[in-house]
Each structure stands twice: as structure tokens, then as C-alpha cells.
Structure 1
Amino acid sequence: MALENILLPSEITDLKKDFIGGKAFGLHQLQKNQSNTPPWFVLTNTSFENHLLQNNIFDTLKKSLLNANKSNLSQVSKNARELILKTKLNNELKSTLVGILPKIGNAPFAIRSSMVGEDSKSHSFAGQLESFLHQHTLDDLEESILKCWASAFSARVLKYKLQAKQKLCMPKMGVIVQKMLSSQVSGVLFTANPLSGNQSQCLLSAAWGQGEGIVSGECNTDEFVYHHTNGEISFTIAQKDLQILPAEINGLKQFPVSLEKQNIRCLSKEQVSDICSQGISFAKKFNQPLDIEWSIENGQIHFLQARPITKLPKAQNQDGPKIVFDNSNIQESYCGVTTPLTFSFATSAYASVYEQTMRAVYISQRTINEHKKTLENLLGLIHGRIYYNINNWYKGLLLLPSFGKNKEDMEKMMGLQDPVDFIVDNNFSLFQKLKKFPRLFLTFCLAKRKFSHIFYLVKEFTNNFEKSYKEFNRNELKNLTFSQLMQKLEFLRLYFLQKWHTPIVNDFYVMMSMGKLRRVISRSGIKNADETLANLLCGEDGIESTEPTHTLMRLANEIRKNHNLKLLFAKDNSIIEKELKQESISLWEKIETYVERYGDRCAGELKLETISLREDRSFIYNILKAYIKREHLDPKVLLRQEKKKRKETEDILRESLGTFDSLKLGKTLYNARLSVKNRENMRLARTRLFGLYRDVYKTIGLKLEQAGMLNNHRDIFYLTVDEIESYHEGRSVNANLKAIAEVRKNEFQNYQKMDLPHHFETIGPVYHGNSYEAKQDLSENVKTDNLKGTGCYPGIVKAPIKVVLDPNENIDLSGKILVTLRTDPGWAPLFPSCSGIIVERGSTLSHSAIVARELGIPAIVGVKNLLKIIKDGQLVQMNGATGNVEIIKTE
């Protein structure tokens, strides 16, 4: 027997791995660790190489691989395989085979490929090379060996190598000849769970018959999850209707499984434990997780091969705090991917204003200090998206009396489609309640006092804001130095952010007053509570969120009446920009006034990186063009219609209420309407403040670009607030701002390609070991023609839909239903051009709902999985009262 051509297991050492290939070396390792392995031997790659040389085809094959590329791969493979399959094994090798076969027993045999590099840590080549099972005669063996060698040149192997960025060089090919078992049960064991990445769990798959049925996917398998320490923890029993068994002559064949065996475990609990325990032991000795094939013949477990698991998903965390992240509401303010500067600024602003609010209701400094970490972590940033850390919002609510009601009201206000149930009010003893009572009672009284004076607080806040806003000179920023710009940021902090508790107090007022109104409607017995609520809130005068839209309507009416202006607005935006002042100084001045007040009210208005209307007025011109075509648009008419609907709904509600609720309804409605109006108006102030911050940071970016510290001034948005401050103050741990910005820019560009759910939970460290997946992301509205959301304004509309993801695109919405993922106040001017609005995210208090009500446009929000189901151009019928959306089939 030539040592270099064929080796028995006893003749193999660790040093001979490159002569026998990955699969044979795995078998060697199993036997080395006392596994029960069917007898086998291996034809080394020397045998393969000698065969090619003796048949004068080695150089031909080598040259063909050197000249192979993606375009000729199939032809190269075909030619190589034909050359090999035309050859015959030489007499010496045949004679050696005849002599060695009795040492592994009688036929049948399994012939398996074992290429060097196969079953390695980095590349498994799983399913790429060929095996031939249940072979009997020497002629069968010769044909199978030649086919195994030829499979190293198959098109799929060559493609696999190219995809793995390996060179197409001559393969080193071993072939295993192994005693074939007559298996009753077979399967695959992963000593680390390949589904979860958990390395403390095994995943064991098993089926009746030979293992080929599992590898090929022909047979259904039972699956068992086995913890390395605690044993079997779960199992899934499949209906095993087919099994793979030896055919009459050579090879394998499908056979039916008897009915009594189809739905029972094919492995006992003891067998599961035995297989997994041995596999875990092998993995420890291999010092890596393993993928092991095994079979049971006559009650004996045999291990057929073992290879490293080439890739595991990141293991999910099993330990640590559970955090709920949700962006149902905050996505209106920070839509899509948000830059580091915006996130760091928003995080700091939230902490500051909520600390101010706690002081405003006389929560003690000690309690505030205890909740510092909570305040600093109200927001999270996952793959560039901003989320509320719901746990910390609830912790804040626990400081207020009546947590249960507040929790429900907050969930409604924030549009939480998946309310959190693991955070509950604390159950205190009588002594603890008495101890807490003075503080909670004081908080309750002070909050009630604040709410009773909310009109005056809002007026004072608005006056102070306007006064400080006028003191800030935007036009001088470009002439200031870096240090002077940093002083401007301090001015904004002291005179604006440090005096921002009134909007937050009003937000709590909104939450509570709206919750109270919802409960009154519920007690009335009126069926469609959402429609009733929407009608009661519409028709309010002086809401700033709708005023930009009303202003543009009035401007469109003016343009429509002037022939020359109408012609101008039929032209390209660049021409309008150039000729407007010359054509009508009056209209130009009105647009300038609009930009001065509402120039920061745009899509993504709270994102500092957003290009506002101050920089690009295309959005204004596009909206005016759309409005000019809609002659019926008149804000006065719309307001009259809304007031009428509001009055009718209020009368119906009064008739449905009991005496006590009816008497208090006027005050309840007044409080709810006033709080929502105040919220919308103060949010415009917030938008304008963010506009000032945007301009200051953008100018700092210009200074850094001029100093050579940034490649582009807009790269400032990829730094954080603290990095900019520490750079200026001399405490940076890395002052290479250019490098930091470039790395972050690439990272955040990749985030743009990702799709995240609006709600998910994490365990332990947030940035690893978590998948950021919704528990039941497709639990509703899937594969259906009838979708369901929350109705925000009544009206039945049947029209084609237009999916809009960017409101700045020049889109014709005339008569169509606008469909989108989310909106913010900057979308409002688009609304009057459409016949209806359907939004995947949001609540009855989201901006899209409020503006739709004011404009009298049927609207539905909170339609789960909307954009996964609905397609642009589809004909739908929406019912803004019930929240139903029906996709209408067209021939």
C-alpha cells in the first residue's frame, strides 16, 4: 500500500491535514477523541494529483483555471469534468483498494469528498462537493471516486471560490471511503445554536432514516434545543411523512414513514442528552463550536463527520436590564436617520427642560438628583434613528400621582401601538403611602395650580420667546469668530432652553385633559370614539400648525387672479426665484415675510442637518403651483365647515351623556382644546429655536472648514455637541475632527439602507446581542385587502394612492390619497392638494391628524405595516371615521 496514496485512520497525524482534506481531518479528530465512528480510509490529494499527472491532464486543468472568469466559468467547469470522467484508475490504485476494503467491512460504502479547505473555520463548502452513498462494487467505487474528484471543478465550487475571494488554483482533493450504516435515525447537531448564536445551547435536528434527507431538505425534522448545563429545554415535533433509505441497488431513495411514527419523537430524551453531551465534549476538545453529522444504527450512536461552524449570528443577550424603545411619536420630530449633532443636542435639551419641569412643580433637588440618569436617557439612538426610552418615561410618571391613568394617557398621546405591560405602579404599604403622600399631594396641588394658570404661563412664555428671538441677529453670524459663535450658543441656552418648562407642563396638561375627554366619550356609549374625538377638536382658531398652510392658500388665490403671476408659476422654480421680485414686489415681500416666520417649518424641522426653506424655497413654489390648480381652496370656508361639524358632534355628545358629565363637558372640552392649541403654537417656537441653533452650528462648520479641520462645513453635523465644545475649550480626547466626521458619515450613510421597526425591546448592553426586531412586526394587516388604523377625520374617499417618502419632491397629489410612513409639521402644506391622508405611524394627537382636522381632510393614522402592503397607484377606499382602508381590485 502506497502511504502517500491511501491512509487508514491509524496512519493519520495532525501534520497530515493538508494531504487528506478538511472532512477527513474532522473524522480523524473525532476518532482521536474516542467517538464511535464507522470504519473508513482516505485517498490523499497525492493520489488525486498523481492520477491527473499519469493521465496527462494536470497542466491542461491548471491552465484552464488560470484563464477562468465569471463569463466562461460554466464552460471551464464542463471541460474539466469531462476530462476527469474519461479517465480510469490505474491498476496499482485499484489493487490497493481491493486490499484495504476488507479492513473497513463489507459493502455498502459511502464515498465523500474531502478537499483541502473544505469544512474549515472560514469556508465550509457545504453542499458544493459531491458524495455518493450506498455503493457496493469496486466499479461503483471507481466511478464515485472519479466523480468526487471531478466535483472539485464544478461550476458551483468555482463560483463559491470566487465569491469567497479565493484564487482559482488547482484543488487538493481527498476522498473518504467509509462503511455505510443502515441508519434508523439520523441528524445534525450544532453545538452552538445557529439560530440565536447562543453558545450555551445545542440545536439538534433529527429524522427517520439516512441523514441525506436532512442535508438535502427533503425530510421534515424534529428539532431539540439542549442547554449545555441544564439539558433539553424545548423540542418541536414535525410531521415526518418521508424518510431516505437505501435503494434496491445503489444510492438512496424516498420511502413513506408509517402513520404511527409520523408525529412522535424520533429521539428519546436520553438519546438527545447522549448525542448532545458527546458533541459538547468534542467541541471543547476542538476548542470551537461544531456542526456534527450522526446516525443511529441498532441503538448505537455513530458520528459521521464534524466541521467548525463557520458563522454564527451574534448571540442574543440573556441577562441585563430590559428596555423598551419606541418612536411612534418622536419620529414626527426626528424622522429617519438623524445625525450625531442633532441627537446629542436633543438628548441634552430633553434632560434640561424636564429637570426644569420637575423644579417647577417643586420636586425636591434630592429626587431630581436621584433621577439624573433617567433624565439623561430619555432618548436612544439605534442605527441612526431616535427612539424614546419608554422605561425612563414611565419612571418619570411614577413621580406623579395616579400612575395608572397617566400611563394610559401618555401611551395614547405618544401613539404607542404596543403599550408596555411590565412596568406597573408600585404597591406600597400603608406606612410607605403615608410617607409618600405629602410629596405627591404637593406635586398634585402645584400641577393643578400650573394647569389652572396655563393660559397666563403660555402667554408669558410666548412674550419672553419673541423678545429674546428679536434680540438674536441671524445676519451677523457669518461675520463672527468661532469663539463668538460659541457665545451665541450660550445665549440660546440661557435665554431659551433654560426657560422651557412651560411647553412641558402644557404637554402633561394635554396628556391629562385629552385622557379625561376620552373617558367622557367612552362613558357616553358613542360607538366611534375616535371620530367623535376628532370632530370635537377640529375648527379651532389661531393654531400655528395650520397657519403656514392657510397663508400659502391665500398667496395661491392672489397668484390665480394675476395672469402674469400665473404664467410665471407655470415655469421652473429657478426662473420663479429669479423673476418674482421684478414681476410682483408685493408677492415677493409676502413670501419673504412667510420665510422669516415659517422658514424653519419644514420636513425634518428639528433635525439640525435639515436644509430649511431659508436655504431652498423650492418647496414653497411647488406647493403654490399645486394650490393654484385647486380653486376651491379657501381657509375661511374650511374653518366654517369645521366649526359646524364641531358644534353638531358636541350636541350629539351632550345628548348621550348623563347629567353630571353633561354639565362638566364644556370645561372638559375647553381644557382639551386649549391645551392642544397651546401645544401646537409653542411647538412653532421650538421649531424657530432649532432654526437658530441650525444656523449657528452651520456657521461653526464653515469656520472649521476654513481652518482645514473639516472637509465640508456640513460635516459639523457628524460631530456631537460635547465634541465641538471640548474642541473649543481644549479638552478633546481626539481633536482630529475631520477623521471623526468622515468615519461617522460613512457609518450613518450605511444606516440609511436599514429598516427598523417602530417598537422593540433590548436586553442588557443595547448595542450588541440585540436584534432590534419587533415581536410581531407583521401581526396585523398582512396579506389582506382591508387595513385598519385610527380614524382622525371622517369622510369616505375612493381614489388612487400616491406614496410619498420625501415631501420636498415635486409631486402632483391632485385628487389622490397621500400615503406615507410618517409626517411632521413641514408636511402640512402638501395636505390641501390631496383628497385623503393615510399614515403608517402616529396618533390622534400627531401633527398630521391635527392639521388634517383643521383642513377638513379625511385622515387615518397608525396603520400597521402600511407600506409593506400598499403599492403606489393602487385604488383604495378609505373611511376616515372608522380607520378602515380597503384595497380595491381592478381588472
Structure 2
Amino acid sequence: MTYILSMKHQQATLETVGGKGMSLSKMLTAGLPVPDGFHVTTEAYRLFVNTNEIQPQIIDALDGLDPGNTAKLEAASLQISSIFTKGEITDELKKEITAAYQKLGNVPVAVRSSATAEDLPGASFAGQQDTYLNIQGESEVLNAVKRCWASLWTARAISYRLINHIDQSTVALAVTVQKLIFSDAAGVLFTVNPVNGDRDEMLINAAWGLGEAVVSSLVTPDTIVISKTSEKISSYETADKQLMTIRTAKGTEEVPVSDPMRQKPALTDNQVEVLTKLGKTIEQYYQMPMDVEWALEKNQMYIVQARPITVLPPQWKPLEKGVIYTKGSLAEHLPSPVTPLFATLGMDLINQATHILWNHMFEDGVQKLWPEHGAYTTINGYTYMSCRFKPFLLITKSFSPKSIRRTYQKSVERSNIAQKEFAAVVTEWESKSMESMSAEQLLNGVRTVFGTACTYFTKIQLCLPAALTSETLLTKLFKGTAAKAGVPDISVLLLGMDTIALQSEKSLYKIGKWVSQYPDLSNYLRITSAADISRQFTSAVPPPMISDELWTQWKKQIQLHFVNYGRTAYEFDFSNPTPQEVLTPTFESIKSFTTGQGESPLTRQAESKKRRIEAAKAISNQLNGPRRKLFLKLLGWAQKTAPMREDVIFSMGMGHPVIRLMLNEVAQRLIKKGALSQPDEIYWLKETELSDLVNRLDRGETLQDMTGTIPGCREEWKKNQSYTSPPEIPEKKKKNAHSNPEKPEIINGNTVLYGIGTSFGTVTAPACVLYGPADFEKFNTGDILIAVTTTPAWTPLFASASAVVTDIGGPLSHSSIVAREYGIPAVMATHSATRKIQTGQIITVDGKTGTVMIHEK
């Protein structure tokens, strides 16, 4: 048996020295600057396990483990670690390890775990096993080798293998012992930019001292972006490097960085150039993107580890040259990746309506502005608004006297007309008998109603600027005067307006008060979760404690509420269930009102009105003459148009309930003919596929079974959902750390995200990340609501939230307005909160500074 191999030995294969060891040997053999050392092979691990009869004890400890049960995983790991600690290395193996160590010169070394199932192109086991730095002396090296062997059975490693179905009985661990580099600086090099997926960029993280502080995320490192083609530095963000890992007599420790060094660049331009060339060589050698750990000692660069980058974000590249893509306008109402049916049928109708609008706005200039793929398109599943970049044409057309008059005159009246026209189409289709229509007629009905929704949106686009402009001007011109008058937040002038969303909340409040008259129903709501109430609501049979008559009355109350306020949507992609289908937020609100926990919207509105009147009077008293007249005129304009902004957005999803009913009817017919197995599978078909099925269905022909293609579409959608889509493509170069949302700051070991504070206050509470209606059931009273964005249909959740954080939005977004109405802190435009924060984590939201701190401990 071979227990020890030199670093350059030809038998240094995956099976003998593990992924990390094999990679280091390959690079050293190829002439790359890898510190010398030796491998303790997997045969040595197996010898230790067999002679100490450890494997049966491991199998017993792992029996029946659930990869999601952290407590039991930790207990099993501690049990196995104790077994390894008690085990004895054979005398023969001790001699071989100490002899190899003596050949290195009895110097300080790094002792690194190297598993047989790690650093592979298909799976990343980074951080699964342990590394020990600054180990010196024969007994210390032997002890570190044992600890590395035991780290094959950390809780995270066991869980990872269970999740990825890796046979726990076949894994083994090698150990690599290398001369320790006394690094002045260290870090990580990615041969492809892991933030934006750009294959022509390399990214370097660098900090002072040993690299442990960087790979363990204990320090915010410098971030350097390099063009792979030119090898020139594109950007160099020098971080405030507060900690560094250093050698000590007993190993390593983290110490503060001296003030002169904290904001000094860790690498010179020449050192970056050397590292860039090494990175390109390593990538060419492996023929794949690589994650490379490096160390710098006395201006000599060393490579201490290299592994394939197993997961890369997609590239966010323009589809057409000379076109810019933004998340503005309608794209804001499509925050998640869209489904195939929406990406085809829905997007086509959106572009048809938008083309009419652009003709109206830009007339003969449309051809110069309209992109080949349309005004709205998808990139990596996300919807973007696009336009050919012709700034002079846009400015002259958008700000012509004719355009300004058309946009600002009678905006409220025009929005009301647009809502009535849209409502008439929705009502017409709601009154039709769906069972009597052909599948083709139903699909055409979907096109008609959604096409009208798109036309409605284009019409309100010419109304909304009035609301935004009036509030912006009011704030800009009189914010200072408001402060002098003792009004710290001028937005109080626009709170408490009687919007449809507020009317809907008042309707739920009245239902809650109605419920309070009936002890049996009140008790039922009190002891039953909102999720269970939602499930039981569809049953004709009441719960045991409630009479048939009371159950019927209760259901009528809810149904009447939805008749009046149920025609809306959580987001514009019609594949998402509507509030009429996802009842949990509705019942959560009623529960809180019934039990007296929820604040009365009637009281809140009255108080807001009082503050509004008092604030207006206080500001007006500070003014006289023309400025007072201007203030009152702007105030009247803003107060008239502010409710319109919320109301028209609430109505955007007016057609979604009937659209989903029509698509459900088509889906049920397709299920009967074997084309689908579940109703929601219809959203995972492209328009051409659905049209073909519908035509064949109406002709009575045999239908193709489409269920086999749907899992792949769902997986693609889930993969896209894990990405953070940039707000603009091409992306703007980041100038500092705070402007880069993908590189949050680390303060005292806690991650801090930066955004825009839009509602003052500070709250520390558990986070709840909600991507859409499917997640609503996990939201609990007092949670901090984390979302990409919200619409008026989300408003019931705000009554239970302690704060709100979104990826996109600003001071005038729906999330901000409603947060201010409820008096809870809000931070918008964090860009990546939904990806950086996990449900259940304790976070602190500061609405004044616009920061979100994730408490890691």
C-alpha cells in the first residue's frame, strides 16, 4: 500500500490524493509556482479507519439522518469526530508521515483536507472539509492529519453528500501537507467574473496576511476586475480591510489591520499583472473556468489551490448592439422570471400595445427607437424594457409641448376612463359561459382580455407622470420649508388617501368586526392558522364548531369582498395565482382585526388626515406671496393625483382572474385528452405549442403528451430565479463598494446591504423572503417582508410586517408608500436582498440610513 506520495508523483490521482491534492500536483508538475509538499493518501485514511474499526460506527451514526435536520447532523458529526480523536495512527504510518515532513525541513506547513469527491467540474465541495495553517512539529502534523480525516464527517459535508446522493460508505480523504507561505497578501482569483458571468473578465479578491480571512468572509477584500483580453485593470475597488489572519506560536489568529494599511491596495498593478497571467495559464491548462487561491510572499506569487467553478451566473449581454435594457416601466411589475406562455403569448401582446403607444408618442421616430426584439423582451428569463439609444430623439419627442400637454392634462379623468374601458371588457368575458366555448374561443378570450390589460397599461403610462412629477416637485421645492415648520417628512402630506387598496383593507376590517359578533367563528379564527383557514374555506362542510348557516354567511362575506376588491394580481405574469386563489394574506388580516391585534384602517386614515391637514397648515404659515400660492397649487395637484397612482396599478391585474379561469378551462380539457397532467402545466407551454394543442383539441384529434417537457422548463425557471438580474444592461461600471450590491460590506462579521431608505425607523426581527404568492403561507406576524418588489395586491401583508425590504424600487414606489402609511421602516433598491437574505435570519432594517444588516450569529 502507498501511504505517502511526493507532490510531483505520477500516482497523484483523484483516487489516491483527492481533488485538491491532484490539482496541486498537476499544477506543480506543469511548472506553476505551487509550494512543495507531500500527500497522505486515501489508503492511509482507510488504514486508520480499518485498524480502529471506525466505519461500522460511522454507519450507525448516519443511520436515518435527514439532511435538513441540523441538530441531528451536528450530533452525528460530534460523535464521529470523537471516534477519530480516540483512534491511533499505526507506527508504520507515523514513521512515513514524519519522514516526509522531515524532508521538507521541519518547517511550518499548511495541512489541507483533500476528498475524493471534491473540486470536480460537476460539484463544488468548497469549504466542506478543514484546513489547518501554521502547523509545525511532527506531533502537531500528525494531530492535524487526524483532524483533517475527521473533517470528512462535518455536519455540512454529511448533509451535502446526502442531498447529492453520494454513497457515504465509499468516500475517503487524503491530506496534503505543504510548506506554508508567509503571505504579505492573499486571496482568490476567479478566471471568469462570478458576479456577472462575463467570460472576458477575471476577478481578484485580495487582503492582507494569510488567505483564511478572505475565504472565510471575515474581511471585505479589495476587488479587482481585469479584462482577460487586454490584461488591463477595468476597476480596482480598495476596501476598508479591518482584519487580517496572521501566524502565531499556536497557529493563526485574526488581528486588526493598522490604520495606514486598511485602505491601501493589497496588490500593485505589476502584481495584478503577474496573477492575471498565472490565472490565464491555469484556465488554459484545465480548459475550464477556475477558482484559484493565491498567496504573495516577498513579491513572489504562489498558487495554493485551484478548483473548477461549478456554478456561474449567466452573462447579462445586450441582445442587440446600440440597445439599452432596463427594469423600468412594465418590467418593474414582472420582477421574477416569466413562464414560457407569458414569455411568448404575453410578451407579444405587450409589444403590440407598446408599439401603438410609441407611435402615439414618437410618431415617425418609432423606427429609429424600436428594437428588433421589441420594446419588451426577456434576458435569462427576466423581462427588460429596451430601446435604441437615441437620446436626442427621445428628449425632443418626450419633452415637446405637445407631448407635455398630452401627459399632464386631465390625468385623473383619463385614468378613470381607461379603467372603465378595461372593466367593461373584463365584465363581458366574466359573463360568458366558458363550458360552451371552444378551446380556440377561450384562447382568443385570453388574448383579448390580456391585450386590453396591456393597452390599459400604455394608457396609464401617460397619466402616471402627473402623480410622480407633482410629488417630486412638492418635495424638492418645499422639503426645507417643511423641516423649518417641524414637518420632518413631507410625504405626510400625501398619506391616508382613500385608495382602492385602503378601501379593500377597510372591507377586511369590517369583516373582522362582523366575525367578532359570533364567538364560535371568532374562536375558530383565533385557534386556526390562516393557511388552514384558506384550505378549509373551499369546503362546503363547516368545521365542527361552526353551524351550516354561519359558515354560509361567512363565505358570503368573503365572496362579496372579492366581488368588490378581488380583481387584481400580485404581479403581471398571469401564471401567478391571484388574491382570490391565494387566500392566506386575506385571512391573516381578518384574524388580526378579529383578535384586536391589527390597527384599524379607519383610525389610521383619520389620524393621517389630521396630520396631513396640520402639516399643510404649518408649511403654509411659513410661506407668503407667490411661494405660498405655488405650494398650495402643487399640494392640490399632488393630493389629487397621488391616489390615482395606486389605483391604476391596483387595476392592472383586473383581468387576471378571468384569464386564469379561461386557461384553467382549456387545461382541464387538455388533461382529459392526455396532453397535460396538472392545470398549471399550461403556463409552461409556449404559445405555438398551446395553439397547436388547442386546434387539434377542437378538431377531436389525438394530442401529444407534453408532460415530459415541463420538468425541464420548471428547472430552467428555478435556475433563472436564483440569479440576480442587473437593473440595466449593459451594466454600468461600479465606482465603489457600496454601489456594488453583489459585494456587500462585512461589519463585525455581519453582512450589510445598502439601498435607499424610504420610510424611517429601525427594526430587528426575523426575515421572510417572498418571491410570490406560493411563499405567502410562511409569512408570520412581525416578520420583515423581503421581496423583489410589491404591488397593491400585497398590501394585506404590510399590516402584519414589522418592516419591508425590496430589491428594486424607490421613494415613490408602492412598497415605500404603503410602508409610510403603516409607519414601518422600509429600504428599497438593495438589488439582491432576496438572494442574500434567508427566511428566518435575524436582520436589522434602518429606514433612515438605507441599510440592512444580516446578523450571522
Structure-1-length-normalised TM-score: 0.62
Aligned residues: 778
Q: Which residue of 2 aligns with 1:547?
A: 503
Q: C-alpha distance in 2, partners of 1:885/1:31?
A: 45
The amino acid across from 1:372 in the alignment is W
**Pair 1:161–1:444, CA change in 2 (3 A):** closer
Aligned with 2:620: secondary structure?
Answer: helix
Percentage identity across aligned positions?
Answer: 14
CA drift of 1:448 comes to 0.3
CA drift of 1:69 comes to 3.2
Q: Which residue of 1 aligns with 2:826?
A: 861
Of 559, 564, 574, which residue of structure 2 is paired with 1:597?
Answer: 564
CA drift of 1:689 comes to 1.5
The amino acid across from 1:534 in the alignment is S
Q: Does 1:717 align with 2:673?
A: no
For structure 1, which segment, 687-696 or 306-315, has the greater mean C-alpha deviation from structure 2 after superposition?
306-315
Query: How do residues 585-664 of structure 1 correspond to structure 2 at under 5 angstroms?
Result: 591-601=558-568, 604=570, 606-615=572-581, 620=586, 623-630=589-596, 642-664=608-630
Q: Is the Cα contact below 8 Å between 1:189 and 1:279 reproduced in 2?
A: no
**Pair 1:482–1:649, CA change in 2 (3 A):** same
Aligned with 2:674: secondary structure?
Answer: coil
The amino acid across from 1:544 in the alignment is I
Aligned with 1:709: secondary structure?
Answer: coil
**Pair 1:804–1:329, CA change in 2 (3 A):** farther
Q: Which residue of 2 aligns with 1:685?
A: 651
For structure 1, which segment, 561-570 or 489-498, has the greater mean C-alpha deviation from structure 2 after superposition?
561-570
Q: C-alpha distance in 2, partners of 1:594/1:529?
A: 40
**Pair 1:228–1:166, CA change in 2 (3 A):** farther
**Pair 1:723–1:511, CA change in 2 (3 A):** farther
The amino acid across from 1:739 in the alignment is G
The amino acid across from 1:740 in the alignment is T
Q: Which residue of 1 aligns with 2:712?
A: 743
Q: C-alpha distance in 2, partners of 1:783/1:161?
A: 24
Residues 391-416 of structure 1 show CA distances to partners (whole Å, capped at 9, x for unaligned) of x4896987554xxxxxxxxxxxxxxx
Q: Does 1:672 align with 2:638?
A: yes
Q: Does 1:534 align with 2:511?
A: no
Q: Is the Cα contact below 8 Å between 2:763 and 2:844 reproduced in 1?
A: yes
Q: C-alpha distance in 1, partners of 2:472/2:10?
A: 73
In the alignment, structure 1 segments of 5+ residues that lack a partner are 402-435, 767-771
Greater gyration radius: 1
Q: C-alpha distance in 2, partners of 1:236/1:519?
A: 34
Q: Does 1:458 align with 2:415?
A: yes
Q: Is the Cα contact below 8 Å between 1:187 and 1:205 reproduced in 2?
A: yes
Q: Does 1:367 align with 2:365?
A: yes
Of 673, 688, 701, which residue of structure 2 is paired with 1:707?
Answer: 673
Q: Which residue of 2 aligns with 1:356?
A: 356
Q: Is the Cα contact below 8 Å between 2:675 and 2:705 reproduced in 1?
A: yes
Aligned with 1:711: secondary structure?
Answer: coil
CA drift of 1:506 comes to 0.6
**Pair 1:563–1:400, CA change in 2 (3 A):** same
Query: How do residues 106-505 of structure 1 correspond to structure 2 at under 5 angstroms?
Result: 154-156=149-151, 165=166, 193=191, 309-311=307-309, 314=312, 333=333, 339-342=339-342, 347-348=347-348, 350-361=350-361, 363-364=362-363, 366-373=364-371, 376=374, 378=376, 392=386, 401=395, 439=397, 443-449=400-406, 451-474=408-431, 476-493=433-450, 497-498=454-455, 501-505=458-462
- RMSD of aligned residue pairs (Cα, Å): 7.1
CA drift of 1:548 comes to 1.9
The amino acid across from 1:357 in the alignment is L
Q: Is the Cα contact below 8 Å between 1:599 and 1:613 reproduced in 2?
A: yes
CA drift of 1:719 comes to 3.4
CA drift of 1:444 comes to 2.8
Q: C-alpha distance in 2, partners of 1:540/1:218?
A: 47
For structure 1, which segment, 709-718 or 338-347, has the greater mean C-alpha deviation from structure 2 after superposition?
338-347
CA drift of 1:505 comes to 0.9
Q: Which residue of 2 aligns with 1:582?
A: 549
CA drift of 1:477 comes to 1.8
Q: Is the Cα contact below 8 Å between 2:759 and 2:825 reproduced in 1?
A: yes
Q: Which residue of 2 aligns with 1:515?
A: 472
Aligned with 1:774: secondary structure?
Answer: coil
Of 771, 777, 789, which residue of structure 1 is paired with 2:757?
Answer: 789
CA drift of 1:713 comes to 0.5
**Pair 1:43–1:451, CA change in 2 (3 A):** closer
Q: C-alpha distance in 2, partners of 1:535/1:797?
A: 19
Q: C-alpha distance in 2, partners of 1:564/1:20?
A: 70
Q: C-alpha distance in 2, partners of 1:718/1:157?
A: 41
Q: Which residue of 2 aligns with 1:430?
A: none
In the alignment, structure 2 segments of 5+ residues that lack a partner are 62-78, 697-702, 734-738
CA drift of 1:445 comes to 1.5
**Pair 1:166–1:306, CA change in 2 (3 A):** farther
The amino acid across from 1:600 in the alignment is R
Q: Is the Cα contact below 8 Å between 1:626 and 1:812 reproduced in 2?
A: no
The amino acid across from 1:550 in the alignment is K
Aligned with 1:461: secondary structure?
Answer: helix
Q: C-alpha distance in 2, partners of 1:220/1:493?
A: 47
**Pair 1:656–1:217, CA change in 2 (3 A):** closer
Q: Is the Cα contact below 8 Å between 1:323 and 1:762 reproduced in 2?
A: yes
The amino acid across from 2:369 in the alignment is H
For structure 1, which segment, 697-706 or 162-171, has the greater mean C-alpha deviation from structure 2 after superposition?
162-171
Q: Is the Cα contact below 8 Å between 1:538 and 1:643 reproduced in 2?
A: yes
Q: C-alpha distance in 2, partners of 1:337/1:756?
A: 11
Which protein, 1 or 2, shows the higher relative CO under an 8 Å CA cutoff with sep ≥ 6?
Answer: 1
Q: Is the Cα contact below 8 Å between 1:844 and 1:861 reproduced in 2?
A: no
Aligned with 1:608: secondary structure?
Answer: coil
The amino acid across from 1:671 in the alignment is W
**Pair 1:677–1:359, CA change in 2 (3 A):** farther
Q: Which residue of 1 aligns with 2:805?
A: 840
**Pair 1:79–1:38, CA change in 2 (3 A):** closer
Aligned with 1:790: secondary structure?
Answer: strand
Q: Is the Cα contact below 8 Å between 1:790 and 1:863 reproduced in 2?
A: yes
Q: C-alpha distance in 1, partners of 2:89/2:307?
A: 33
Q: Is the Cα contact below 8 Å between 1:113 and 1:129 reproduced in 2?
A: yes
Aligned with 1:547: secondary structure?
Answer: helix
The amino acid across from 1:545 in the alignment is A
CA drift of 1:819 comes to 6.0
**Pair 1:509–1:765, CA change in 2 (3 A):** closer
Q: C-alpha distance in 2, partners of 1:5/1:38?
A: 20
Aligned with 1:545: secondary structure?
Answer: helix
CA drift of 1:685 comes to 3.5
CA drift of 1:516 comes to 2.9
Q: Is the Cα contact below 8 Å between 2:16 and 2:174 reproduced in 1?
A: yes
The amino acid across from 1:668 in the alignment is L
Residues 494-527 of structure 1 show CA distances to partners (whole Å, capped at 9, x for unaligned) of 6554465331211122233333333332474645
CA drift of 1:675 comes to 2.6
Of 59, 74, 89, which residue of structure 2 is paired with 1:69?
Answer: 59
Q: C-alpha distance in 2, partners of 1:64/1:878?
A: 51
CA drift of 1:649 comes to 2.9
CA drift of 1:464 comes to 2.7
**Pair 1:517–1:63, CA change in 2 (3 A):** closer
